[in-house]
Each structure stands twice: as structure tokens, then as C-alpha cells.
């Protein structure tokens, strides 16, 4: 078994390590001395300045309205040493209005900083198109949406990252709010046909505040979507971290991941209808996220996964109306690039009837999570006849579960060759069912003596969760707060420690244009 654990954990870590080995995403301006400053105060002046933009320029927008009657597209091949910066003189007071936003096309090392986008949603607010090391930062996006009879009648994404050879772009410290029409707040794409459907790579989406996306009409209302199923053979190496999602209720997938090899970490999901979904993807790391519901009025949930070799570790789930961890079945084994066919009559989309819609979940590691009073701790399987391939070879270890519901686990489809190890389950509702039978040592039914501290349920003095876990291979070295774990790790997301905590649930002060960091 130890050899099996080592093999599985090694497989799941290949992609994240590769991602960290790359240079940081996005343009930075620390230490830059600009060659010239170009001051603008009207849309015509802005268009002219960007048409003549050069490496080392600072284009500075005075306070006021910049009315565009179509997308403002420009190109600049700048460098790390001489970036192009387009910046509001006073953050938030240069306002893009009219019918469209800005396109950074075939560019490098361009940063757009501090703008407000309030135009109509006839077009994107911002597009990174076939560019690399470009950045949109500390801006506010709240478009004036076209009036429709139903939200699904008009589809427009607000921020798009994609195009041929797109990589190392960054979207950070923005406030994106108030979307209701169909489309995503943020979407990543790639090269499509011209380069064999390759995903944009090594992008970073961080420290943004996403809020107030009301329930839509069907699919296509994701807050963040990484790729589409057509890119599910192409690694994205995208990092989505340190974002706050509040009342993001557009559809069942708050964040939808459709490219492999991504990192989703340290985000806070507060009172959001839906879940983080690993949809058409493999080898993703989901770590250190907080899923909290204080309203109990929506179908809030945690992580739903398909595909292979995911790691769901060090996450905190509290008060969710739905399940904390959802592991379904599939109708196809892992697809490969060679099995994709894009047909004109299918509008270039993957033909799900030929190649399946959901890939079998396998070799997932679900470890060191804390789950408190959720609708279910885990929801396993699918009753639909088409999805007949059960999840297999998964490891469920060192999780701490407290439940006040009638059933802790819902088992619909028996998984194959699962390992349950060193999980603590405490039922506070008399007569509640566990819902699954596991081998000895898989679950201990004991009160973990949790105490509410700094808004989170943690092991208190004398908790049987302390030092009760066993190391995985390779070991999980930090807990949800960035505190070190030792050779006898605590069960659950939190390690009792005197070390300073680096991470906690995010608030509005930690993200968006005015955040300190």
C-alpha cells in the first residue's frame, strides 16, 4: 500500500511542480524608469497614444469618461526591462464607457492599471489576445448589461485570456461584480484550430473580488472558467489563488476547470450557489480553500471532480447545504489528444456522443480536509445508467468530519479499490447514518472536541485529532494556514501550532483594487 500511495501522490504532483518552476505571470513595474509619459484626457487621445505606444512608455489617463464606439485594440511588444504601462492617474476615476472595452493584442509586458469599465456588454471589458506577460490590475468591472427578456438571451464574457501562444498573463486585484447576462466573468481559452487547440498557459488569476452574480438560466454563467472541453487534452498550468467569491450564484459551477494541470488554492467561497468543478481535467491541486455558507438558502457546495490524479487537500467546508466533496462516475476513460475530432457541423466542439461527456474519476487524493455541518461530507456516484464507470483507486485520508445531518456520506455507486484511512467522523444528530461501510481504521467515530476560534472550528485542547494522522507520500508539509505539519500530523485542515498563520478566510479588505498587498 505504501508503494501505491507513493505512486499516486507522485503522479498528482508532476503538474504543480512544473508550474512553480516557471517565471511569474504578468508584467511588473518595480524599479522601472519610464522613457516617456504620455498624458491623455479623451478617448481620441487614448486611441492615438496606444497606436503609438512604445516599450518604456507610461500612458496616464486623467480623471473622466473615455467613450469608445468599438473595441480599442492595440499592440506593443515591450520587455520586462521596458514595459508599457497604461494607468489611471487616480485609481478608478478613468472610466471606459460606450459599447466596448480594451484588447491587448499580440503584445508582451503590457500592464493596464486602475481603470473602471462601465460600457455596455456588447463586447468584452478586457481581452488578452495572443499575448504574454500582460496584466490587468486594480481595476473595476461592472458593465451596463443589455436588457433581455431572459439572462440567457445575450451571451458575453467580461474578461478573456486566450489566442495563439497565450501565456504568463495575470489578472489581479480587480473588483468584478454585478453580472447577470449569460457568459463568464472570466474565461481562458487558447489557440483553437490554428495550433491544434492548445490552451493558454501559466496564467495567474489572483486577489480579485468576484461578487453578485445572480442565478442564471441554465449553463454558461460560470464566474471563472478555465478552457472548454476542447482544450481538455492541453495543460493550462493556470493558478487561481487568493480570490474572494461572494454571492456568485450564476450556475452550478462557480469555477469550472476544463484544462489539466492547474492550481486552485487559498480562495474563499462565501455564500455562493454551486461548487468548484474539476470538469474536463486531470492532475489539479485544490488546496487551502475556504467554502463557507452562513445563509443556508442556496445549493452551496464544495468540490466536484471528474478525471484523474487530483489532490483535494487542506480545505475547510462549513455549513454548506450540499456536499463538501462530490465524486461522480464517468461515461468514458481518460481521453487523449489523438481521440479528438472537431467537425464543422459540430461548430468545432467536442462530440460528446462519440467521446463521452464525463471522464471517470480515478486516483484522487482527498486528505486533511475539515468538514463541519454540511449537507453531506461526501457524495459518491451517479444513478444515471449512462455514467457506468465508477470512481476508482482514490485515497480518503486524515479528514475531520463533524455532521449535524441525517447522513454523513451518500453512496450511490460503489467505488472500486478505494483506501479510507484515519478519518474522524462525529455525528451530533442522534440516529444519523454514516451512509458507507469502510474497513477498520478507515473511520474513527469520536468527538474531535472542536472549538470556535477566529471564526473557524479547530481542534481544542485534548482533541483526539491532534497527532492522530499518518504521513502520506510525499507528505503534506503545511496546513490550511501555512503552518508546518510534523511527522505526526493532526487530522483535518488545521494543524495545532504556535507558528504564525499566513492564511485565513479572505475579506473584502484583502482583495480588489484597494487591497494592501
pLDDT for res 344: 40
User: What stretch of H or E contains 353?
Assistant: helix 352-355
pLDDT for res 90: 98
What sign results for the dihedral spanned by CA atoms 372, 373, 374, 376?
positive
Record the pTM.
Answer: 0.93
Beta bridge partners of 286: 264, 312
Look up residue 362 and give its three cell numbers.
480515478
Q: Exposed, middle or buried, 349 (CB in 10 Å: 0-12/13-18/19+)?
A: exposed
Beta bridge partners of 291: 269, 317
Look up residue 205 and give its three cell numbers.
488569476
Nearest to 291 by CA among 255, 312, 325, 317: 317
Nearest to 182 by CA among 216, 230, 223: 216
What sign results for the dihedral spanned by CA atoms 463, 464, 465, 466?
positive
- Residue-range domains of the chain with CATH: 2-26+134-510 (2.160.20)
pLDDT for res 353: 60
Rounded to an integer, what is the distance from CA 4 to the centroid of its chain? Answer: 29
Rounded to an integer, what is the distance from CA 50 to the centroid of its chain? Answer: 32
pLDDT for res 150: 80
What is the distance between the alpha carbons of residues 476 and 484, in angstroms, rounded to a whole number?
A: 9
- Residue 39's CB is within 10 A of a number of other CB atoms, namely 12
What sign results for the dihedral spanned by CA atoms 60, 65, 69, 71?
positive
Q: What is the 3-state secondary structure (H, E, C) of 218-283?
A: CCCCCCEEECCHHHCCCCCCCEEECCEEEEECCCCEEEEECCCCCEEECCEEECCCEEEEECCCCC
pLDDT for res 355: 61
User: For every one of its 517 residues, what pLDDT tens digit does the chain have, with 9 covering 90 and above?
Assistant: 333 333 333 333 333 333 334 567 899 988 899 999 999 999 999 999 999 999 999 999 999 999 999 999 999 999 999 999 999 999 999 999 999 999 999 999 999 999 999 999 999 999 999 999 999 999 999 999 988 888 778 899 999 999 999 999 999 999 999 999 999 999 999 987 666 678 999 999 999 999 999 999 888 999 999 998 777 788 999 999 999 999 999 999 999 999 999 999 999 999 999 999 999 999 999 999 999 999 977 789 999 999 999 999 999 999 999 999 999 999 988 766 434 444 444 555 566 666 668 899 999 999 999 999 999 999 999 999 889 999 999 999 999 999 999 999 999 999 999 999 999 999 999 999 999 999 999 999 999 999 999 999 999 999 999 999 999 988 999 999 999 999 999 999 999 999 999 999 999 999 999 998 7
What sign results for the dihedral spanned by CA atoms 332, 337, 339, 343?
positive
3-class DSSP state for residue 344? helix
Q: Are 269 and 284 in contact (CB under 8 A)?
A: no
φ/ψ of 6, rounded to 5, equals: -60, -40
Q: Beta strand 450-453 with 456-459: parallel, antiparallel or unpaired?
A: antiparallel
pLDDT for res 22: 57
Q: Exposed, middle or buried, 344 (CB in 10 Å: 0-12/13-18/19+)?
A: exposed
φ/ψ of 328, rounded to 5, equals: -90, -170
What is the distance between the alpha carbons of residues 382 and 375, in angstroms, rounded to a whole number?
A: 17
Amino acid at each position: 500500500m505504501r508503494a501505491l500511495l507513493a505512486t499516486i501522490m507522485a503522479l498528482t504532483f508532476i503538474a504543480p511542480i512544473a508550474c512553480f518552476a516557471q517565471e511569474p505571470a504578468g508584467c511588473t513595474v518595480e524599479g522601472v524608469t519610464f522613457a516617456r509619459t504620455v498624458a491623455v484626457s479623451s478617448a481620441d487621445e487614448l486611441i492615438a497614444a496606444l497606436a503609438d505606444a512604445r516599450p518604456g512608455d507610461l500612458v496616464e489617463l486623467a480623471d473622466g469618461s473615455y467613450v469608445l464606439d468599438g473595441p480599442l485594440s492595440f499592440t506593443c511588444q515591450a520587455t520586462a526591462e521596458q514595459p508599457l504601462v497604461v494607468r489611471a492617474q487616480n485609481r478608478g476615476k478613468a472610466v471606459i464607457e460606450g459599447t466596448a472595452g480594451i484588447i491587448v493584442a499580440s503584445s508582451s509586458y503590457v500592464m493596464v492599471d486602475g481603470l473602471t469599465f462601465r460600457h455596455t456588454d456588447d463586447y468584452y471589458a478586457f481581452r488578452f489576445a495572443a499575448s504574454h506577460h500582460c496584466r490587468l490590475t486594480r481595476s473595476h468591472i461592472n458593465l451596463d448589461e443589455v436588457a433581455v427578456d431572459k439572462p440567457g438571451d445575450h451571451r458575453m464574457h467580461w474578461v478573456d485570456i486566450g489566442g495563439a501562444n497565450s501565456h504568463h498573463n495575470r489578472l489581479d486585484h480587480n473588483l468584478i461584480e454585478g453580472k447577470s447576462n449569460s457568459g463568464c466573468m472570466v474565461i481562458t481559452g487558447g489557440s483553437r484550430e490554428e495550433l491544434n487547440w492548445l490552451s493558454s498557459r501559466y496564467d495567474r488569476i489572483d486577489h480579485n473580488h468576484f461578487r453578485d452574480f445572480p442565478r442564471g438560466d441554465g449553463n454558461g454563467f460560470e464566474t471563472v472558467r478555465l478552457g472548454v472541453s476542447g482544450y481538455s487534452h492541453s495543460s493550462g498550468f493556470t493558478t487561481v489563488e487568493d480570490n474572494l467569491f461572494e454571492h456568485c450564484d450564476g450556475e452550478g459551477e462557480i469555477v469550472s476547470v476544463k484544462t489539466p494541470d492547474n492550481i486552485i488554492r487559498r480562495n474563499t467561497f462565501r455564500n455562493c450557489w454551486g461548487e468548484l468543478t474539476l470538469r474536463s481535467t486531470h492532475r489539479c491541486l485544490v488546496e487551502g480553500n475556504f467554502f463557507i455558507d452562513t445563509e443556508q438558502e442556496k445549493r452551496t457546495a464544495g468540490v466536484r471532480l471528474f478525471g484523474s490524479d487530483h489532490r483535494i487537500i487542506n480545505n475547510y467546508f462549513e455549513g454548506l447545504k450540499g456536499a463538501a466533496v462530490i465524486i461522480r462516475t464517468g461515461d468514458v476513460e481518460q481521453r487523449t489528444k489523438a481521440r479528438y475530432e472537431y467537425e464543422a457541423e459540430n461548430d468545432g466542439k467536442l462530440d460528446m456522443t462519440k467521446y463521452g461527456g464525463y471522464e471517470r474519476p480515478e486516483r484522487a487524493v482527498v486528505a486533511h480536509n475539515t468538514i463541519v455541518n454540511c449537507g453531506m461530507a461526501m457524495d459518491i456516484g451517479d444513478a444515471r445508467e449512462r455514467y457506468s464507470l465508477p470512481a476508482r483507486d482514490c485515497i480518503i485520508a486524515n479528514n475531520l468530519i463533524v455532521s449535524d445531518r441525517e447522513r454523513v456520506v451518500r453512496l450511490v455507486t460503489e467505488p472500486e479499490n478505494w483506501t479510507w484511512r484515519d478519518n474522524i467522523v462525529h455525528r451530533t444528530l442522534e440516529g444519523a447514518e454514516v451512509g458507507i461501510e469502510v474497513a477498520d481504521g478507515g473511520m474513527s467515530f469520536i468527538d474531535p472536541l472542536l472549538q470556535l476560534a477566529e471564526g473557524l472550528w479547530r481542534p481544542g485542547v485534548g482533541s483526539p485529532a491532534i497527532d492522530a494522522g499518518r504521513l502520506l507520500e510525499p507528505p503534506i508539509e503545511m496546513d490550511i494556514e501555512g503552518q508546518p505539519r510534523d511527522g505526526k500530523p493532526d487530522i483535518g485542515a488545521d494543524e495545532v501550532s504556535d507558528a504564525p498563520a499566513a492564511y485565513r478566510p479572505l475579506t473584502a479588505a484583502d482583495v480588489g483594487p484597494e487591497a494592501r498587498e
